[in-house]
């Protein structure tokens, strides 16, 4: 499989793992099964708990941002895959003014297709009287835009965001969930710098691998391999300091983060989800969680509280 196909296929893995955990009762998401097929694999309890932690923590941060800005904000999800947050926020009446999803055309075309054929997905996007413009790979509606772009091309990303009606004056949340590790460091830096230079009030939420060096300081590439992808942005995954530094070095006011084993202990629903499936090897889960993190970076000149993402 060519590398780009393999990177796109990581979306199928993520979506199917999420669907599997939802069907087991880890969290509620009526939309994921409308976007992805049932995978064939059965996933071990530690994988389901890991996904629960990822989804629950990201949701907590996104909702906090929306509440801090009183919904007068926009969200841009880079490498969104089959993410369902737009629909879930609509149901909770926590919609931002504009929501943009960016991914490769091969992924957005499949998402477009599913949205077109599912009334539940389409209805939220269309709203009461909203016009929905659809092509094979893109959707433009009043407060939802699905666009295709390669994150390695800043010019392409900028163009697609402009077409999506992005307002740089609005507080803006950027989300990357398991994405930047597939993008080379130079391209990521360009995107991060452009955001820092262009958006006066912004929060960036990045869920990704961390602590990926062994005791000799070597990057543990084997642990980072997903399918056969060549992972290009691994430098930042070596430590929490490097994860934060990549933002502060590109003009962000500040950055902070926690690894998922710390976050897991603070999540609200842990008691309930630990009763869903018996798990033999707790160490496996600890190990898995300690290799992932959420890092948040902010530009917050009016002190909205964007730096505070404690769980
Ligand atoms: N964020 C989604 C989630 O967490 O469910 C999908 C995660 S999946 C592991 C990685 C996503 O990033 C894929 O949908 C892939 O197509 C997208 N991606 C990776 N590199 C990209 C690039 N250079 N440009 C656009 N999208 C990219």
Q: Is the CB of 183 under 6 A from ligand 1?
A: yes
As a residue count, the chain comes to 311
Domain presence at residue 255: yes
Label residue 163 by pLDDT band (50, 70, 90).
very high
Q: How far is the CA of 301 from the centre of ligand 1 (A)?
A: 30
Q: What is the pLDDT of residue 229?
A: 58
Domain presence at residue 108: no
Q: What is the pLDDT of residue 7?
A: 80
Q: Is the CB of 181 under 6 A from ligand 1?
A: no
Q: Is the CB of 21 under 6 A from ligand 1?
A: no
Alpha carbon distance 170, 73 (integer Å): 5
Q: How far is the CA of 132 from the centre of ligand 1 (A)?
A: 24
In Å, how far are 85, 87, 96, 140, 289 from 92, measured between CA atoms? Answer: 11, 9, 11, 22, 29
Q: Is the CB of 51 under 6 A from ligand 1?
A: no
59 phi and psi angles, rounded to 5 deg = -60, -45
Q: How far is the CA of 279 from the centre of ligand 1 (A)?
A: 30
For residue 258, give its domain range: 1-72+153-299
Residue partners of 206: CB distance under 8 A and separation at least 6? 176, 177, 180, 243, 294, 295, 296, 297
Does the structure show a pLDDT above 70 at 224? no
Domain presence at residue 283: yes
Domain presence at residue 38: yes
Mean pLDDT on 217-229: 59
Domain presence at residue 186: yes
CB 214 within 8 Å of CB 177: no
Domain presence at residue 60: yes
CATH number at residue 60: 3.40.50.150
Domain presence at residue 145: no
Q: Is the CB of 14 under 6 A from ligand 1?
A: yes
pLDDT for 29-74, tens place per residue?
999 999 999 888 889 999 999 999 999 999 999 999 999 999 999 9
For ligand 1, atom 10, name the residue with the nearest CA: 179
pTM: 0.95
ipTM above 0.95, yes or no: yes
For 20-23, the CB contacts below 8 A with 24+ separation are: 20/48, 21/47, 21/48, 21/51, 21/52, 21/55
How many domains, in total, are found in the chain? 1
Q: What is the pLDDT of residue 228?
A: 52
Domain presence at residue 79: no
């Amino acid at each position: 499989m060519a590398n780009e196909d393999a990177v796109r296929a990581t979306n199928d893995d993520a979506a199917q793992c999420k669907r599997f955990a939802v069907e087991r009762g880890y969290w509620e998401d009526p939309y994921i099964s409308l976007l992805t097929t049932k995978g064939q694999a059965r996933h071990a309890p530690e994988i389901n708990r890991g996904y629960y932690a990822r989804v629950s923590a990201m949701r907590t941060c996104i909702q906090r941002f929306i509440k801090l800005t009183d919904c007068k904000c926009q969200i841009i999800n880079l490498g969104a895959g089959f993410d369902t947050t737009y629909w879930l926020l609509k149901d909770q009446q926590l919609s931002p003014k504009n929501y943009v999803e960016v991914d490769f055309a091969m992924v957005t075309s499949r998402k477009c297709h599913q949205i077109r054929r599912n009334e539940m997905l389409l209805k939220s996007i269309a709203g009461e009287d909203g016009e929905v413009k659809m092509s094979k790979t893109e959707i433009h509606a009043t407060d939802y835009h699905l666009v295709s772009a390669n994150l390695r091309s800043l010019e392409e990303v900028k163009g697609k965001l402009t077409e999506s009606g992005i307002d740089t004056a609005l507080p803006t949340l950027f989300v990357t969930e398991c994405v930047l590790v597939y993008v080379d460091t130079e391209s990521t830096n360009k995107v991060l710098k452009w955001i820092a230079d262009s958006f006066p009030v912004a929060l960036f939420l990045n869920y990704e691998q961390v602590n990926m060096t062994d005791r000799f300081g070597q990057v543990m590439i084997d642990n980072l391999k997903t399918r056969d992808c060549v992972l290009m942005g691994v430098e930042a995954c070596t430590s929490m300091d490097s994860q934060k530094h990549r933002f502060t070095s590109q003009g962000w006011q500040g950055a902070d983060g926690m690894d998922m084993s710390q976050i897991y202990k603070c999540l609200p629903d842990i008691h309930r989800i630990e009763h869903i499936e018996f798990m033999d090897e707790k160490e496996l889960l600890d190990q898995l969680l300690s290799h992932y993190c959420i890092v948040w970076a902010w530009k917050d000149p009016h002190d909205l509280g964007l730096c505070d993402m404690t769980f």
